[in-house]
């Protein structure tokens, strides 16, 4: 392989749920510093792919490697600490916590503060708390909801909740940020702003894996695209290649015809 090195490698991953093969020998990799789009019709296995990568599901066969390390059987919070963070297609914020606290939970991922540090307010607690708060606010600034940091997460608007999901994931200090349909339910203008945000996030040094249904958007923002259909990878390439790929057009026919053509 040429160019930048692969950050994450999905190697021949198959996962079955009973009789259903949700992912069927899927292989692709994500290169450092790129924005990779993961697309495909409903039920194609995109979210399942995220779940395998983040340790929610164990692959029936095949493996995922991150930074050369095999992720199989690694605990989920350990995978996060290694540097993979994600958002959820169905928003899953800590609703009773404030916006800032939500992000702080992410920022705590690398904290070494323990029970006694907290109980006796040892220097490590103070230092870490101050640093995480500052970092959390910085991230909230980036996603554009800093002003609302004291709100309860459940009181945010739908769009801001999606932004908070991204902020919380960013706060874990990942190398790879996986966004599962972050623009779902957005209007076109909001979508555009979000894509700008994603580009900015990449420029901050993150590698981004993006699931998104809106083809035009994906084409605009990604460096490369992987296409899934019925759990199989049917295409991979730069946006212009994907646009003209007959298999992709066929897969999207009747779904998003004009976007695909």
Partner 1 sequence: MSTTTTPTSAGGTSLVTLGKRWDVIVERYNSQPTIIKALGLAAALVFVYALPLIRPPFFTTDQIDFGGVMFSVAAFALVAVGLNVVIGYAGLLDLGYVGFYCVGAYTTGVLTSYHWSWPFFLALPVAIAVTMVTGVLLGAPTLRVRGDYLAIVTLGFGEIIRICVKNIEWLGASAGIKDIAHPNTIGAAPQPPFDKGGLFEVPRLEWDGLIPSLDTQHKTAVLAFGAADAIPYYWLILTALILVLIGDRLVKASRVGRAWEATREDEDAAELMGVPTFKYKLMAFALGAAIGGLSGSFYASGQSGYISPDSFPLLLSMLFVAAVIVGGSGNRWGAIAGGALVAYLPERFRDFADYRLLIFGLALTVLAVWRPEGLLPPRRTRRAKAAEAEIDALEEGELEGGLA
Find, among 56, 82, 81, the residue nearest to 180 by Cα.
56
Choose among ligand ATP, Mg ion, partner 1, none what residue 111 binds, the Cβ cut-off being 5 to 8 Å by kind. Answer: partner 1
Q: Least distance in Å: CB of 205 to partner 1? A: 19
47 forms part of the interface with Mg ion (CB under 5 A): yes
230 forms part of the interface with partner 1 (CB under 8 A): no
**Can you tell me which of 3, 19, 42, 96 binds partner 1, judged by CB under 8 A?**
96
| N residues, the chain | 261
222 forms part of the interface with Mg ion (CB under 5 A): no
The site for ligand ATP, by CB under 6 A, has a size of: 12
**Can you tell me which of 45, 55, 83, 174 binds ligand ATP, judged by CB under 6 A?**
45
91 forms part of the interface with partner 1 (CB under 8 A): yes
137 forms part of the interface with partner 1 (CB under 8 A): no
Candidates 26-34, 89-97, 232-240, 242-250; binding stretch for partner 1 (CB under 8 A): 89-97
Choose among Mg ion, partner 1, ligand ATP, none what residue 56 binds, the Cβ cut-off being 5 to 8 Å by kind. Answer: partner 1
Whole-angstrom Cα distance, residue 130 to residue 121? 12
Beta strand pairing call for 61-66 and 176-180: unpaired
Q: Least distance in Å: CB of 134 to Mg ion? A: 34
**Can you tell me which of 7, 13, 28, 48 binds ligand ATP, judged by CB under 6 A?**
48
Q: What count of other Cβ atoms lies within 10 Å of the Cβ of residue 130?
A: 10
134 forms part of the interface with partner 1 (CB under 8 A): no
Choose among Mg ion, partner 1, ligand ATP, none what residue 104 binds, the Cβ cut-off being 5 to 8 Å by kind. Answer: partner 1
Q: DSSP letter string over the chain?
A: --SSPEEEEEEEEEEEETTEEEEEEEEEEEETT-EEEEE-STTSSHHHHHHHHTTSS--SEEEEEETTEE-TT--HHHHHHHTEEE--SS----TTSBHHHHHHHHHGGG----HHHHHTT-HHHHHHHHHHHHHHHHHHHHHT-GGGTTSBGGGS-HHHHHHHHHHHHHHT--SEEEEESTTTT--HHHHHHHHHHHHHHHHTT-EEEEE-S-HHHHHHH-SEEEEEETTEEEEEE-HHHHHH-HHHHHHHTTTSHHHH-
46 forms part of the interface with ligand ATP (CB under 6 A): yes
**Can you tell me which of 48, 80, 207, 245 binds partner 1, judged by CB under 8 A?**
80
CA atoms within 13 A on the CB side of 167: 33
17 forms part of the interface with ligand ATP (CB under 6 A): yes
Binding residues vs ligand ATP (CB under 6 A): 17, 20, 22, 40, 42-48, 89
Binding site for partner 1 (CB under 8 A): 54, 56, 75-77, 80-81, 85-86, 88, 90-98, 101, 104-106, 108-111, 113-115, 117-121, 125, 128-129, 152, 154-155, 158, 161, 168-169, 172
């Amino acid at each position: 392989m040429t160019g930048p090195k692969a950050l994450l490698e999905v190697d021949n991953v198959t996962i079955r749920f009973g009789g259903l093969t949700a992912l069927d020998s899927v292989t692709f990799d994500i290169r450092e510093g790129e924005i990779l789009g993961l697309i495909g019709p409903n039920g194609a296995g995109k979210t399942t792919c995220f779940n395998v990568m983040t340790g929610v599901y164990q692959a029936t066969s095949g493996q995922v490697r991150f930074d050369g390390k095999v992720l199989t059987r690694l605990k989920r919070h350990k995978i996060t600490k290694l540097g993979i963070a994600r958002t959820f297609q169905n928003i899953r914020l800590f609703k009773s916590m404030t916006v800032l606290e939500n992000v702080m939970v992410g920022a705590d991922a690398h904290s070494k503060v323990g029970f006694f540090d907290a109980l006796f307010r040892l220097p490590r607690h103070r230092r870490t708390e101050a640093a995480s708060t500052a970092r959390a606010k910085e991230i909230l600034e980036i996603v554009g909801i800093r002003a609302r940091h004291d709100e309860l997460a459940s009181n945010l608007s739908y769009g801001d909740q999606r932004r908070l999901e991204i902020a919380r994931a960013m706060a874990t200090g990942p190398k790879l940020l996986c966004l599962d349909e972050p623009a779902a339910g957005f209007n076109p203008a909001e979508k555009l702003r979000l894509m700008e945000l994603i580009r900015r996030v990449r420029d901050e040094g993150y590698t981004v894996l993006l699931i998104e249904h809106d083809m035009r958007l994906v084409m605009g923002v990604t460096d490369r695209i992987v296409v899934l259909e019925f759990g199989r990878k049917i295409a991979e390439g730069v946006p212009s290649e994907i646009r003209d790929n007959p298999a992709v057009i066929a897969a999207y026919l009747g779904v998003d015809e004009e976007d695909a053509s």
